[in-house]
Amino acid sequence: MTPSPGWPSAASSASRPAPVWGGDLPAAGIVILATVVCVATVGGWTGWSVLREPLWAWCALALAVAAGGSLLVRAGRAHVPRGGFAALLLPLPASSVVAVTVVGVVRGAPRGLEWFLNGDHPRHVVYVADTWAQGSLTYAVDGYPRGWHSLLATLWTLSGAGLDAEHVLRLLELMGAASLLLSASLALALAHTGHALAGRLGLSSRASIVVGVVVSALSLLNVFLANYQALGYENSLLAALAVVVCCREVLLRAGTALSLVTTASAVVVVAHAWQLLLPSVVLPALWCAGVAWRSGLGRRRLVVALLACATLVFAGPGVLAVVTGVGLDHAAEPGPDSPVPLVLLVMGLGASLLLGLASRDWPTRCIGAVNALPAATALALALSLGVGPLHYYPSKLLWQAALLSLPALGVAIAAAAVGAVRRIGVVLLFGRVLAVLGAVVSVYALALPWGAQVGAWSTVDGGRVVTALATPRAEEAVVVWLEGSPTTDSVTRILLDAFRVESTRARVPQARTTVGEECALLRTASRPLVLSTADEEQVSARYACDGAVIVEVLRVSPRTTGHR
């Protein structure tokens, strides 16, 4: 393949691009989370309640922040980050998500939090409460990956944790903010990865900035941000962040101590978040380790070996929990409809392939392989389980491939545009077009995340949910009927499990329930208690259950904030 003018070449990618200020913040976040996971895992081995005791939680967080801060300091010393327009413009899309987070915190429950009461978020609340109750990270009882939940449990402990309404509502607010900040970190990481890839492949500084901003803005499209936040796929967002951080390491400083620590941390995080994405994080980790091994002396190779052993030790429990407890067949289970941006997927994977062929740059080819691995895993999973590629778990992997390919897509489009412009010699016009395009996309990106605060992401009545949770003895209820939508009832019922994590490991049904199914629950309950906004007569009529059950009504205050 002969590159056209403007297309990347081996010569244009000989030198690594300089990092931009702020680009290491997502990597520092991954290191902080990995440190908490390691400490919590040690707690699980030793019976040490590090996540529950405030003193130990402070120590764990201090150690984690010190590790992340050390990475930032060392990165600044090794390569003085550039400032200027890149440092100001690349964070713009992420800053819009941060602003939405701040507004949500200021508004508080229920309205500032209503968007969070959707999808899998309530289930994650229960997992955080359960992790806090256990005091450490252990998979002895439940194999669900809980690395992210360990960090949230630590923060909850430090903000004041407890299994009453006040403290559970505080946990909801904490998790709502943390979930949005996760998306902000992902947008920031994509911006800097897109910028680094463009710079490595020879695009101008201005074009690289536009690529970074546009790529970051694309990650705020509803198919990437709103859908996955509304569906509550927190672990999927976290795993994607870890992979993007690793891609930047491959492009900027593969083989350095910083890259080894960052990629090892990412492997640990993904092992305790979403193991199906492990191939996409292991490959860049092996790449960085291979570069260090080939270029280093005995001391450098010893560091690589020690880090590899530590990674296996701390990533192992998460992987073993899935293999021995959950099993691969779990991936065949149905789930919510998870839209896949098929057009962006095909274009992104095609761009990854074209960049690898045109540039002949091996780090770029490594990134292309990383982008393709989730799609390959999805197809292999679908074939082995006998399900379609758009089934629940395969579709989530295809979504990952589309998201991870955004930097390659942005660079390919920019390179093609530069080549076309050079052929017709309208460089000045192209610069203006790039500036206008960057401005338009940035404004668009600033607007989309606000759907969280204007009700566009909401599917429940937050006022009803919060009022029901604050009702005395609400955790004793077997059935919830708030005279609103079935989703509002289901979310409230699931969240009540957070109050009971110390008393029972039994969990309520996760899906919507019919009146007949609720009658069955009431028949088997030692105390058939219904949490409802209706009066006793209405509840008794609804749950007559062939006269077999005499229900007790726990009345919720009629104060609500509207119906859905």
- Of the candidates 10, 240, 202, 212, the one whose C-alpha atom is nearest the C-alpha of residue 93 is 212
Judged by DSSP in three states, 140 sits in coil
User: Tens-of-pLDDT digits for all 564 residues of the chain?
Assistant: 344 444 444 333 345 677 788 899 999 999 999 999 999 999 999 999 999 999 999 999 999 999 999 999 998 877 656 667 888 889 999 999 999 999 999 998 888 999 999 889 999 999 999 999 999 999 988 889 999 999 999 999 999 999 999 999 999 999 999 999 999 999 999 999 999 999 999 888 888 988 999 999 999 999 999 899 989 999 999 999 999 999 999 999 999 999 999 999 999 999 999 999 999 999 999 999 999 998 876 788 998 999 999 999 999 999 999 888 776 777 777 777 788 999 999 999 999 999 988 888 899 999 999 999 999 999 999 999 888 899 889 999 999 999 999 999 999 988 877 665 555 555 556 556 655 765 676 677 778 899 989 888 988 999 999 999 999 999 999 999 998 889 999 999 999 999 999 988 878 877 788 888 888 888 888 888 999 999 888 888 888 886 666 778 888 876 544 433
How much is the pTM?
A: 0.92
Q: In a 10 Å sphere around its CB, with 0-12 CB exposed, 13-18 middle and 19+ buried, how is residue 476 labelled?
A: middle
Q: Tell me the C-alpha distance between 38 and 137, whole Å.
A: 9
* Residue 518 CB contacts under 8 Å (≥ 6 apart), including other chains: 479, 481, 543
Tally of residues, the chain: 564
Burial class (CB in 10 A: 0-12, 13-18, 19+), 458: buried
Tracing tokens 């701390």 back to the chain, one arrives at 314
d(Cα 119, Cα 124) in Å, to the nearest integer?
10
Task: Give the three-class secondary structure for 553.
Answer: strand
What's the CA gap between 160 and 132, in Å, rounded? 11
Half-sphere exposure of 544 (CA within 13 A, CB side): 6
- Contacts with 152 (C-beta within 8 Å, 6 or more apart), sequence order: 128, 131, 171, 174, 175, 178
- Rounded Cα distance between 64 and 468, Å, is 37
Strand 552-555 vs strand 529-532: parallel, antiparallel, or unpaired? parallel
> Tokens 């492997």 correspond to what residue?
267
Residue range 240-254, pLDDT digits in tens: 999 999 999 999 999
Let me know if 162 is exposed, middle or buried by CB neighbors in 10 A (0-12, 13-18, 19+): middle
Closest C-alpha among 61, 238, 71 to residue 151: 61
**Residues 264, 245: Cα–Cα separation, whole Å:** 11
The pair of three-digit structure tokens given for residue 522, joined into one six-digit string: 């009431």
Distance separating alpha carbons of residues 538 and 226, to the nearest angstrom: 37
* Cα distance between residue 384 and residue 399, in whole Å: 19
